[in-house]
Amino acid sequence: MSLNQFANKVDIPYTRIYDYTKRLKSKPSIGNVFKITQAFPQYTCFIFNINPKQLPEQIILKE
C-alpha cells in the first residue's frame, strides 16, 4: 500500500503521514492514532506494542 493510499484510507493528510514515516521527531496525535486503529483494527496490538497472548492475563481495574 502506498502512503497516498494509506492517507486516503485513514483520512489523514498525505503530508502528515509522510512526516510520521520520514521525520522521527513527528508523532501522531491521539486522534490520528484512533483513525489508524479504526482503519486497520487487525494491527492495534502491534501499534500499541501489546502481546495478544498476554491479554487474558491482564488485570482490569473496575470502578
pLDDT in tens, the chain (63 residues): 888 898 888 988 888 888 888 877 778 888 888 888 888 888 888 888 888 888 777 777 776
Range of the domain at 45: 3-57
Q: Total structural domains in the chain?
A: 1
**Is residue 62, in this structure, part of any structural domain at all?**
no
- pLDDT at res. 21: 83
**Is residue 63, in this structure, part of any structural domain at all?**
no
Q: What global pTM score does this model have? A: 0.61
List the Cα angle 15/19/21 in 5-degree steps: 120
**Is residue 30, in this structure, part of any structural domain at all?**
yes
- Tell me how far apart the alpha carbons of residues 62 and 39 are, in angstroms, rounded to a whole number: 29
**Is residue 25, in this structure, part of any structural domain at all?**
yes
**Is residue 14, in this structure, part of any structural domain at all?**
yes
